[in-house]
Chains A and B, each alone.
Chain A
Amino acid sequence: MRRRSRLCVLLAAALGASLGPAVASDVGQPHPSFALGATTSPFEPPKADDRTFMINSGGGLDTGCTFRSGGPLVIQIPVTRYAGPTNPDGTLQNAAALVAAGLLSRFANLTLPAYDVDFNTPTMPPDQPERDRVSFNGTPVDVLFRGNPAFLQGSNNIWLLNSFQIPIEKVKFPSARGAAGEAPTPEMNELRIDIDVANAPQGTELWCTAIDWASLDIKIMSPVILIHGNNSDGGFFARQGFTAGLTSQRLLWDNSISMATASVAAHSAQLDQLIPPIVKSFGVDSVHLIVHSKGGLDSRDYLARYQAGHDDTFKVLSLTTLSTPHNGSVLADVAVTREAAAARASYVEFSGFPGAANALAYLSGVDAGTPDLQTTTAAAFNAVNVSLLPGFTVYNATAADADQNGNARIDNAPDEYAELRTESASLRRIYAVNENSARGIVDVLYQILRNTSGVTVTFTRKKILGISYTVATLNSVPTAAPLGNDTLVTLPSGLGTGGYGGRTTNTRTFTGGAGRNHSSIANAGVASTVAPWIIAIEATKGDLK
């Protein structure tokens, strides 16, 4: 077979010399030898990352110029990123929907440098020019997409970069996230080069080729990591409908972080341990953080103090806070001041607060996270944290007023605190016994926040039945104007007015009929509000760029 081929070539070459254009083949031509794993073409391979999946060594690569009998060249391109549920064959179940939502590119761009593809070299019949058929996951690329050439392109003895558009629904992705913080198990996509197919019917093989490397480039949305608030857990986002909202927006999310109640400093140290393995389990190098309440302060501390240590492996594209008390909460001032005063005094009295304010002490407490929610603590935190937040990250904030009907109080009809009961067994029990009592308790919280900007404490000595006691009095410092609030965080605090707010790009307040309480600020409707923000950010600086 080889001998016959060579004879034909020699004859063709001789004829060509006298009859017209030179007729050529690769048979007998000297070709450079290729080292396995080396970049043998003049084309540097792209840097492999979470959107560019590149193979530069292994089967089918760096083979030296290979004839049909030495082929086909079969190259396995590993896709290492989880992109959602897959079919049994590894393709995405909902690729079309993801494309329609703008979360996934319609095509994966397949790129490969090919050597010595004599596509246009003249030949004498019956010899044919070089035609090297390209198939992806078993289907010729021109069948996958009619805009693709069916064969490799190139010229004699040169390397040429070939590109093909692969419909995204034909690309195989890992079927699951990596377990226990490991990367997903790569899913192999087969690239096959059938060499010199045009001369196969004649039984000759005239042409050879080689592939240096191959890559698949895909535009795809980064996942969202959810971080809960004080004395809460990752399940909060499911209970309030936020995860369902993200799913309906076809975003990938993780709510596995559940941290025991602790200070901002303790939680940021924990996030430094918890976030990297989650990122790795998706196989990505960029994520969005969406956080509730104190989780926003925890995340800001994490970003300012720890994220730089992870920038080589992943970036945080955005931080979106849901009713984070960026300027603190007067309720924390009341709780901490009262508890501290109680340690020094026999009695604690309230002045200028709603009548049942004292009951707050018996219905709540002070945990390790509460002091960091104080307005003074938040101010000190803002003074050092805001300027050190990473410039790469885009910051968004939401805030809400729970008073949906605008009557300046919390009501049972409309039920303006139902979602708070979901998160509080204590409030549920009170509500079950007496709805008005439950409403009254929540209204006290609402009124304190609405009308109080700060708390002072004075100590006096009083005699009762001849016995001297120390009495602490907590005094309300009134607000200049009533402040809308979600029963824990005021609108200005949620937006970070005067501090963190200077760094925000997207903001939204939920008021009036669209009002939310401190739990429902994480419902599905809010998810549909913030999702476009982070998709736009992804298109600007993330993997959709």
Chain B
Amino acid sequence: MVSMCLASRAAGPAVAAVTLMVLAVACRKTAPMSRLGCFETPAWAEAGGLQLRAESSGVALLLRHRTTVQRLHEDYSGGNPGVDPGQPAIYRYDSASARLDAAAEDAWRQAGGEVVDCDRQSALSAAPFVLDARERTLRWRDRAVAVAGRTVLILAAAPDGVRVAVLSARGSVAESVLPFLARTGTAGQHYHQVFSRRDASEQGEAVTLPMTSKSVALAGCWSADGRYVVYTDALFHHLCIVQPEAAGGDRR
């Protein structure tokens, strides 16, 4: 069960908006690092894929969730003609107010920024960083890299080719009885950090995320402009948005 900094059940759109605002504020209180927003995403809550697109103004980030059927419909140019895939659900994250609100498809089309498909972004190489999948440790070339948590969960290479986001957890991985079905996650505090691929130097400080991955694994994705890193769980029930630049990092 993914735990959030504040438990919440959205009972309706109005309540949801208020809830999300409260949740964002609460998250910022418990996680003192600036520029962190964590939210429930009741409009999603289903497996699929995530796309990101920043508004040209730079003020907001749009997050577009495609269900599996919607993704197949788009990726396979029309998909199954006998199935109406419906419209992907979109959220707009305002970085100034740290609000997450539902948005329309028009907002997505008009955003202007480059679209990032998080599935495709996962193909970006993080080399020379290597995540040892068995030991759950991080190496840069032959050198071990110390991270905030004892268990390294995710490497997410940024589109700029320089930075890598690293998600780690204080707890250890609980091995699944049937790994091919799923891996279990990691309990304990989770941390977001950014490192340079050039020299393994840390960019800014570790950000404490108010989510765990004990039973549902997390994934990370950068916006095209490198201003946001979005963490979601595998079933898209929750997300956290980190702004690395705002957290004090310099891009080397």
Contacts and interface: CB of A to CB of B under 8 A. Distances in A.
Contact of A339 (B176, B219, B235): B235
Interface string A426-451: 11001000000000011001000000
A365 B80 CA distance: 30
A420 B175 CA distance: 13
Interface in B175-202: 175-185
Contact of A269 (B123, B181, B217): B123
A342 interface: yes
A425 B216 contact: no
A518 B183 contact: no
B71 interface: yes
A353 B177 CA distance: 18
Interface stretch (A30-38, A61-69, A375-383, A404-412): A375-383
A364 B122 contact: no
B180 A518 contact: yes
A369 B182 contact: yes
Interface in A334-381: 335-336, 339-340, 342-343, 361, 363-374, 377, 380-381
Contacts of B150: none
B80 A384 contact: yes
Given A420-B178, A424-B175, A488-B178, A384 B45 contact: no
Interface stretch (A133-141, A258-266, A460-468): A258-266
A216 B155 CA distance: 46
B170 interface: no
B79 interface: yes
A10 interface: no
A380 to B, nearest CB: 5
Nearest to B154: A260
A487 interface: yes
Contacts of A336: 47, 235
B106 interface: no
B49 interface: yes
A364 B176 contact: yes
Contacts of A340: 45-46, 235, 237
B68 A380 contact: yes
B45 A335 contact: no
A258 B133 contact: yes
B111 interface: no
A260 B178 contact: no
Given A331-B181, A366-B234, A231 B176 contact: yes
Interface in B212-227: 214-217, 219
B43 interface: no
Interface in B83-140: 83, 117-120, 122-123, 125, 131, 133-134
B76 A424 contact: no
Contacts of B237: 340, 343
Nearest to B219: A368
Contacts of A373: 181
Contacts of A304: 76
A348 to B, nearest CB: 11
B184 A365 contact: yes
Most chain B beta carbons < 10 A, residue from A332, A367, A377, A384:
A367
A424 B180 CA distance: 9
A339 B176 CA distance: 15
B246 interface: no
Interface string B155-186: 10000000000000000001111111111110
Most chain A beta carbons < 10 A, residue from B49, B71, B178, B215:
B178
Nearest to A519: B180
A263 B119 contact: yes
Nearest to B85: A380
Contact of B180 (A294, A368, A425): A294
Interface residues of A, number: 62
Given A265-B49, A365-B216, A384-B79, A426 B181 contact: no
Given A232-B179, A260-B133, A367-B182, A384 B72 contact: yes
B16 to A, nearest CB: 15
B200 to A, nearest CB: 19
Contact of B122 (A231, A270, A427): A270
B18 interface: no
A229 B119 CA distance: 17
A335 B181 contact: yes
A388 interface: yes
Contacts of A169: none
B72 A423 contact: no
Contacts of A388: 76
Most chain B beta carbons < 10 A, residue from A263, A377, A487, A488:
A263
B178 A366 contact: no
A6 interface: no
Contacts of A293: 180
Contact of B178 (A377, A383, A487): A487
B142 interface: no
B71 A367 contact: no
Given A266-B122, A370-B181, A425-B175, A305 B75 contact: yes
Contacts of A321: none
A270 B157 CA distance: 13
B89 to A, nearest CB: 16
A361 B176 CA distance: 10
A254 interface: no
A183 to B, nearest CB: 20
B216 A366 contact: yes
Contacts of B179: 230-232, 423-424
Contacts of A380: 68-69, 72, 80, 83
Contacts of B146: none
Contacts of A260: 122, 131, 133, 154-155
B1 interface: yes
B182 A335 contact: yes
Most chain A beta carbons < 10 A, residue from B2, B45, B72, B82:
B72
Given A332-B181, A371-B47, A488-B178, 4 more contacts: A364-B184, A368-B219, A370-B234, A380-B69
27 contacts: A230-B181, A231-B179, A232-B179, A233-B133, A258-B133, A262-B119, A262-B122, A266-B120, A266-B123, A269-B120, A304-B76, A305-B76, A335-B182, A339-B216, A340-B46, A364-B176, A366-B182, A366-B216, A370-B182, A372-B47, A383-B80, A385-B72, A423-B179, A424-B177, A426-B175, A426-B176, A488-B181
The 9 closest A-B pairs by CB, nearest first: A371-B47, A426-B175, A367-B217, A265-B119, A384-B76, A365-B184, A266-B119, A383-B80, A269-B123
